Amino acid sequence: MSAVVEHVACTFCGCVCDDIVVECEGSEIIKARRACAVGRGVLTGRDSVVRRPTVRGREVEWQEAVGEAASILEQADSPLIYGLSSTSIEAQRRAVELADWLGAVIDTTSSVCHGPTGLAMQAVGEATCTLGEVRDRADLIVFWGCNPADSHPRHFGRFSLSPKGALTPNGRKDRTVVVVDVRPTRTSKAADRFFQVNVGTDYEVLSVLRSLVKGRDVQVDTVGGVSVSELRDLADRMKESRYGVAFMGMGLTMSRGRHLNVGELFSLVAELNEYTRFSVIPMRGHGNVAGADQVLTWQSGYPFAVSFARGYPQFGPGEFSAVDMLSRREVDAALVVASDPAAHFPHAAAEHLGRIPTIVLDPAPSVTASCARVVFPTAYYGIDAPGTAYRMDNVPIPLQGIFASGRPTDEQILDQIIEAVK
């Protein structure tokens, strides 16, 4: 089959660009027009072969693998379901359901990404907007602790740096771009103004900025390696903007202070709304981690680190989050869906996955799969199977099933496991 398919959505990063045009030959995508280099790699480089599931490395029939997986999970005292950021809403819904029936702990990649952002939002709120508002209205953009030039390659072109919008007809010229980071990056090179702050001082810098916005007297000359007079200038620009938008990332969530750093930024943005309009958008990493937050929240009330062990949902960042439970060896079976914790977790947590029976649902052979007891090579969402993914600004994007592949979807496998355990 040779075909051209339009308005395809790429699910690699939180931009979920849905204007991709793919050219297909047989069951391969050979071209992905408009996709960035990473998206192109994902779309053209996928493994299209229909593979059998394996149990202890041996290929088996789907039924047997489902039975083995169900048996592992039923017998476990403390099962963990983890991941979910690179699969569709449909699969995420089943995963939470399964956790409920099992009395399992369920956590998503948020806990090692924008979990702290969720904690800040719970503490102080969040003034946000959709990406179209950024393109059309924002005349001041602040990138704080994030590097979209590398992590979200089309962000600049589609939303935040150069595109022409209703109130930004001159594109780049109608925007002032400020970057705050601990080191120069490709993103800071694109900025009008770059503030290089000392590692681990974002909280103090943000705190001072809040004071300056409120016209308070600040009694230091520098903070975090930045001059207060320059920060005063930034505070003024923020207050005088027509519509400002801050994007934030791992620089805040992963540094000392974590959710407290994010809370300072969110409070700053809220306070700026006394003077003008200002919004903040977290740079969600994976294509559907925003969706995972949404689904887990609507079914359990909480966005990550949820335990159903007592028969009802309990929220416990630090207690039920995956890194903590694994490193304390409080998990005796794991179901990993659409994520690769063995590749990205600190070693002392990742290695526990090798000690316990682990089940993996993933379209590609992940590091986690390489030491898993049961592996289901499932469909690539948005390529082999339809679904929905939520963009970083929580706009839901429908995904096409371009190919009718022979691979089952994550949701189909999860449905079967649910049936087997109930």
Partner 1 sequence: MLGVLGGRVYDPQNGIAGEVRDIWVKDGRVVSPEEVDQEQAEIIDASGLVVMPGGVDIHSHIVGAKVNAGRKFRPEDHRGNERERTETLRSGVGGTVPTTHLTGYLYAEMGYTTVMEAATAPLVARHTHEELADVPILDSGAFITLGNNHFLMKCIRDGRQETARDYVAWLLGATKGYAIKIVNPGGVENWKWHSNVSELDDEVIGFGVTPRQILEMLAWINEELGLPHVPHIHGINLGRSSSARTTIEAMATLDGRRAHFCHLQFLSYGEGKGSLQASEAAAVAEAVNSHPSMTVDVGQLVFGSATTMTSDGPLQHNMHQMTRNKWLNDDVESETGGGVVPALYKRTNPINSVMWLTGMELFLLIDDPWRVFLTTDHPNAGCFTYYPQVIRLLMDRGYRRQVFESIHARARKGALLPELDREYSLHEIAIISRAGPARALGLKNKGHLGIGADADITVYEDVGNKEQMFAKPRYVIKAGVLVARDGTVVEERPGRTLYVAPPYDDESEKNIREYFNQAYTISFDNYSIGADSLRHAERIGCG
Partner 2 sequence: MGALLTLITGRTREQAIGMHKGKGSSEYRRATSLVQMNPDDMERLEIEDGSLVQLRTEAGQVELVVEVGSLPPGLVFVPMGPSANVLVAVETEGTGMPSFKGIEVELVPTMSGNVGS
Both tokens assigned to 250: 């791992």
Full DSSP string of 308-322:
-TTSS-EE-TTTTSH
Contacting partner 1 (CB under 8 A), which of 44, 48, 71, 130? 130
Binding flag, residue 277, partner 1 (CB under 8 A):
yes
Binding flag, residue 129, partner 1 (CB under 8 A):
yes
* Least Cβ distance, residue 268 to partner 1 (angstroms): 13
Strand 176-181 with 387-390, pairing: unpaired
Binding flag, residue 302, partner 1 (CB under 8 A):
yes
Q: Terminal CA-to-CA distance of the chain, rounded, Å?
A: 41
Q: If contact means CB under 5 to 8 A according to the sort of partner, which of partner 2, partner 1, none does residue 366 touch?
A: partner 2
- Looking up tokens 């003024």 gives 236
Q: If contact means CB under 5 to 8 A according to the sort of partner, which of partner 1, partner 2, none does residue 7 touch?
A: partner 1
How far apart CA 331 and CA 402 sit, in angstroms, is 38
Q: If contact means CB under 5 to 8 A according to the sort of partner, which of partner 1, partner 2, none does residue 52 touch?
A: none
> Residue 124, class by beta-carbon neighbours within 10 Å (0-12 exposed, 13-18 middle, 19+ buried)?
middle
Cβ(151)–Cβ(283) below 8 Å = yes
Q: Which residues contact 90 (CB under 8 A, 6 or more apart)?
A: 387, 388, 409, 410, 411
How far apart CA 262 and CA 18 sit, in angstroms, is 29
Q: If contact means CB under 5 to 8 A according to the sort of partner, which of partner 2, partner 1, none does residue 404 touch?
A: none
Q: Phi and psi (nearest 5°) for 153?
A: -55, -30
> Residue 375, class by beta-carbon neighbours within 10 Å (0-12 exposed, 13-18 middle, 19+ buried)?
buried
Contacting partner 1 (CB under 8 A), which of 244, 303, 363, 382? 303
Number of residues engaging partner 2 in binding (CB under 8 A): 54
Q: Where are the alpha helices (DSSP H) in 288-366?
A: 289-300, 322-327, 341-344, 347-355
Binding flag, residue 204, partner 1 (CB under 8 A):
no
Binding flag, residue 23, partner 1 (CB under 8 A):
no
Contacting partner 1 (CB under 8 A), which of 107, 181, 204, 293? 293
Contacting partner 2 (CB under 8 A), which of 250, 333, 359, 392? 250
Contacting partner 2 (CB under 8 A), which of 26, 125, 132, 346? 346
Q: Report the residue number, 98 or 335, with the smaller CB distance to partner 1.
A: 98
Q: If contact means CB under 5 to 8 A according to the sort of partner, which of partner 2, partner 1, none does residue 75 touch?
A: none
Cβ(107)–Cβ(114) below 8 Å = no
Which positions lie near partner 1, rule CB under 8 A?
6-7, 9, 18-19, 89, 93, 97, 100-101, 118, 121-133, 135-137, 158-159, 166, 242-243, 270, 273-277, 279, 293-294, 297-303, 308, 310-315, 388, 390-391, 394-398
Which positions lie near partner 2, rule CB under 8 A?
37-38, 41-42, 45, 107, 111-112, 115-116, 119, 147, 150-151, 153, 182-185, 196, 198-200, 250-251, 253-256, 258-259, 304-305, 317-319, 321-324, 327, 340, 343-350, 364-367
